[in-house]
Amino acid sequence: MDQADSTKQNRRVGIMTLHYNPNAGSALQAYAIKRLVGELGFDAQVVNYVFRGNCRVKKAGCNVFCGPLSQWTPKHVAKWAYQRLASAIRMKKYLPFQRELLGVDVRKAAGLTSAPLPDGSEFHRVVVGSDQVWNFDLKTIIDKRYLLDYIADPAKKVAYGASMGSSDFPAESRQEIEDAIRQFRAVSCREFDGAERLSHIRGEDVPVVVDPTLVVDPTVWDKLADKVPAQAKNPYVYVYLREKSLRAMELAQSVAAKRGLEVLSVTCDRPDGKGKFKRQGPLEWLRCVRDASYVVTNSFHGVCFSLVFRKSFNAVTLDGDTWRAQTNSRITGLLAQVGLEGRYATGDAKPDCGDIDYGAVGRLLDARREQSRAWLASALRDGVQG
């Protein structure tokens, strides 16, 4: 390898993340970590991998029923067909974003095709994260590739904001996962409970960093939002839900009534209040948050972008036994870092629905942003020439 090739390799960083789902948070955090690595002076490249068990990137209808026969009821079939259609429609809005801003075509991804994964020799570092890359309860989305098992050199492996979902790993694969995590040169986590668990595994302090969407230059998001037209004519409360929530809708309607606003409601994988698909790609979603007068959400990235755009907002707890409900700590931990615990709607407690003073919040967020940026810079730059 000549000097020019060596210098180029020494600046190339692979990004292993959840870039492919038709979900605004996943897409935008993938762009954010790629952008952040670029802002730090490296050539960032998304590793185009999709776990074969993930059917969201395939055509509607491919995910045949795999549950017990008792689930093959007309209601179950209709729900399945609806969700597949909704996902396929949204996917068409995400493919251009993935090609143009992430530099990948997920339809040609390793895992779905015979395309090989890189062995790491062309990269100075490979970063896994952020998002729920270590939430191994997501068995149809996450596999051991997100432990960078295909990278032979431990010195190349970095985890930025790797989220576990819950505070532990599945018992049947816990030892294998923990052994792999010990092989990373540097690990950070997005949640406090996850960082505590990872610190125990690695025998060293694992820091908590904020989501990369909060770390990149905030003007990036304004420029992207400006690429699409406004999504509503009148001032509105934007309700974005990962799962249906009566509490969230009632809260949004109360806020709207007090402030003289309309309610624009979008629930992931489901229609809006008028019974029509919201064909939102990530940029349309971004524009909705940016232009909102108020936001109500049970989405972690709904909270992140409310902070980015300095919106008054409420976060609503996810209830029940679903895997998403087990990840409420993502939101509560972030709110605690910026002093906004009172914006969380849970149980019978009434949340603060007033205007947020972003003077104090902004100072806290700026400090966490710089700490997170500095951690990643250190993890990437050690040993870099020039």
Contact present, 27 and 98 (Cβ < 8 Å)? yes
Q: Tell me what the pLDDT averaged over the chain comes to.
A: 87
**DSSP designation for 154:** G
| Lowest-confidence region among 77-86, 256-265, 347-356 | 77-86
Query: What are the boundaries of each domain within the chain?
Result: 3-215+367-381, 219-354
Q: How far apart are CA 329 and CA 164, in angstroms?
A: 11
Residue 6 pLDDT > 70, yes or no?
A: no
Do residues 178 and 169 lie in contact, with contact meaning Cβ atoms separated by under 8 Å?
yes
What is residue 85's predicted lDDT score, i.e. its pLDDT? 75
- Interval 289-304 mean pLDDT: 97
pLDDT of the residue at 276: 40
- Average pLDDT rounded to a whole number, residues 50-67: 54
What is the average per-residue pLDDT within 269-276? 43
- What percent of the chain is predicted at pLDDT more than 70? 85
What CA–CA distance (Å, rounded) separates 190 from 129? Answer: 9
pLDDT of residue 302: 97
| Full-model pTM | 0.89
Strand segments, DSSP code E, in the chain are: 12-16, 43-46, 125-128, 157-162, 186-189, 236-241, 262-267, 294-297, 313-316, 344-345
| pLDDT at 54 (0 to 100) | 59
* 95/106 Cα distance (integer angstroms): 8
Q: Is the pLDDT of residue 323 over 60?
A: no
pLDDT of residue 1: 46
* Structural fold of domain 219-354: Rossmann fold (3.40.50)
Residue 359 CB contacts under 8 Å (≥ 6 apart), including other chains: none
Q: Locate 40 and state its tokens.
A: 């730090």
pLDDT at residue 228 in the model: 95
pLDDT in tens, 168-192: 788 899 999 999 999 999 999 999 9
